[in-house]
Amino acid sequence: MAKIEIKDEIYEEIKKRVDESEEFSSVEEYVNFVLEEILKDEEEEAEVVYSEEEEEQVKERLRGLGYL
């Protein structure tokens, strides 16, 4: 397992959240959860593919608004 350093202020803020939470038992668990969620969201965003028709509709809307 890799180790990383974070600022003391960030660690303390996360520790407060963990202490107030019943969902997480440690700062490490919380940080891993947050990072996994960010990575999952980025993967889902990257998977969005528009059809040619959808892309043309977006372009038409942008033209209508004066952006293209």
Q: HSE (CB half, 13 Å, CA atoms) of 65? A: 7
Output the pLDDT for position 49.
74
Whether 31 and 14 have beta carbons less than 8 Å apart is answered as: yes
Q: Where are the domains of the chain?
A: 8-64
Instruction: Provide mean pLDDT across the span 40-52.
Output: 73
Label residues 2-29 b or e (16+ Cβ within 10 Å = b): eeeeeeeeeeeebeeebeeeeebeebee
* Average pLDDT over the chain, rounded to an integer: 88
